[in-house]
Structure 1
Amino acid sequence: MPDPIDVHVGSRVRLRRTLLGLTQDGLGQALGLTFQQIQKYERGTNRIGASRLVEIANVLGVEPAYFFDEMPEEIEGYGKKGMADEATPFEAESGYSKRETIELVRVFEKITDPSVRARLMDLVLAIGDAEQEEVNRSSGADD
């Protein structure tokens, strides 16, 4: 079973790679690796060594610390005495595991006009708020 920290780091590699529109093969070629090795890194099956993590960070245009950002509290305490709970990987807790979410972020980043970005953001927020209100009404009606 993969270490939860390796799973989190791998999911952040996948997130950044996908946001940049890179394939596993493309990242592998940039690093002199096969796409299968990239798959294993992204799943947390193979641990990424420190020097390799710096190489990946350089190719993906981020600092190595990026791969540890947004680490769930359960994982942050992983391995310390008294931590008995099973840690949940980052992707399972966030919307970033959904391909359409990643694609939406990628496309949004391509919009260069600030007013268009702001209007789109307003639209998405309004739709999200309306959906949440509907969920709240539905759950309140059942009580």
Structure 2
Amino acid sequence: MTHPVDVHVGKRIRHRRWLVGMTQQQLAEKVGIKFQQIQKYETGANRVSASRLWDIADALSTPVSFFFEGMDGEDSLEVPSDAQIANSVPRDILGDKEALDLIRSYYSIPEHQRRRLFELARVLSDVA
């Protein structure tokens, strides 16, 4: 049976990989393992060793602590706040592939256009 921490770390690996636009194969090559092992890490089927997690963090240009964010014990069992429900924002926004694709696309837009798009989104969200 998989441990909840292994599942959480695996999800965070997948989310970070999606965010930087890297495939499982590309990550595996950077770390020096087979892509099937990345699949097992991402599902929590296999536990990631400390040294391997260090290598994965380096390959994904993020601190090791990133993979443990949101693992505050009982916090993961909390009921969403009224603000979260009112905004209809998923509790784990990085768990949504569409949101990650949107973020990646957003940051690929030139900065001056990105600012204008951001202001448009703010206006539209205030109207809704």
TM-score of the aligned structures, taking structure 2 as reference length: 0.78
- Runs (5+) with no aligned partner, structure 1: 77-84, 86-91, 132-143
Q: How many residues align?
A: 117
Classify 1:4/1:130 alpha carbon distance in 2 versus 1 (closer, same or farther; 3 Å): farther
Partner letter of residue 122 of structure 2? L
Name the structure 1 match of 2:56.
56
Quick check: which has more Rg, 1 or 2? 1
Partner of 1:118: 115
- Residue pair 1:4, 1:75 contacting (<8 A) in 2 also: no
List gaps (5 residues or longer) in structure 2: 78-89
- Which residues of 2 match residues 2-41 of structure 1 at below 5 A? 2-41=2-41
Aligned-pair identity in percent equals 41
Q: Structure 1 residues 70, 130: CA separation in 2 closer, same or farther (over 3 Å shift)?
A: farther
- The corresponding residue for 1:95 is 93
Q: CA deviation at 1:17?
A: 0.7
Name the structure 2 match of 1:45: 45
Letter in 1 for 2:28: G
Could you tell me which amino acid in structure 2 is paired with residue 126 of structure 1?
Answer: V
Shift of 1:130: 3.8
Q: Secondary structure at the match of 1:46?
A: coil
For residue 135 of structure 1, what is the aligned residue in structure 2?
none
Indicate how the Cα distance of structure 1 residues 8 and 103 shifts in structure 2: closer, same or farther if over 3 A, else same: same
> Would the alpha carbon gap of residues 125 and 3 (structure 1) be closer, same or farther in structure 2, given more than 3 Å must change?
farther
The letter for the 1-side match of 2:114 is R
Structure-2 residue corresponding to 1:71? 71
What SS is found at the alignment partner of 2:71? Answer: coil
- Counterpart of 2:71 in structure 1: which amino acid? M
In the alignment, the residues of structure 1 paired with residue 32 and residue 23 of structure 2 have an alpha-carbon distance, to the nearest angstrom, of: 14
d(CA) in 2 for partners of 1:72, 1:128: 31
With the length of structure 1 as denominator, give the TM-score of the two structures: 0.71
Partners of 2:22 and 2:69 in 1: CA distance? 21
Structure 1 residue 72 displacement after superposition: 5.0
SS of 2:2's partner is: coil
In structure 1, how many angstroms separate the alpha carbons of the residues matched to 2:94 and 2:5?
17
